[in-house]
């Protein structure tokens, strides 16, 4: 089933209904190839590199709890 809404029809929707529509539109993009600007691609690359570095330096939740417990003693 396909429905087409005009701008007028959209403006007549309640705020909640418009937010639901936004959610449906976003969900419909899942798996779609979305275009990125060069700047966005560079930022994603930078974040991925930082993530990998941070993960290498991370500790487990159990390790963190143990450190906290040692400091409390």
Helix (H, G, I), strand (E, B) or coil at 57: coil
Provide the residue-wise pLDDT of the chain in tens; the chain has 73 residues: 467 889 999 999 999 999 999 999 999 998 888 899 999 999 999 999 898 888 888 899 999 999 999 999 8
The domain spans of the chain are: 7-72
Predicted confidence at residue 56, as pLDDT, reads 81
The one-character DSSP state at 41 is: H
Q: How far is the C-alpha of 6 from the C-alpha of 65, rounded, in Å? A: 55
From residue 13, how far is each of 5, 21, 62 by CA, in Å?
10, 10, 49
Would you state the pLDDT for residue 45?
93
Q: Give me the pLDDT at residue 4, please.
A: 83
């Amino acid at each position: 089933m396909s429905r087409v809404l005009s701008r007028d029809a959209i403006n007549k929707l309640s705020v909640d209904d418009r937010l639901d529509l936004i959610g449906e539109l976003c969900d419909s993009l899942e798996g779609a190839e979305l275009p990125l600007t060069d700047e966005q691609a560079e930022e994603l690359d930078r974040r991925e590199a930082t993530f990998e570095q941070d993960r290498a330096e991370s500790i487990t939740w159990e390790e963190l709890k143990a450190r906290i417990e040692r400091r409390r003693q």
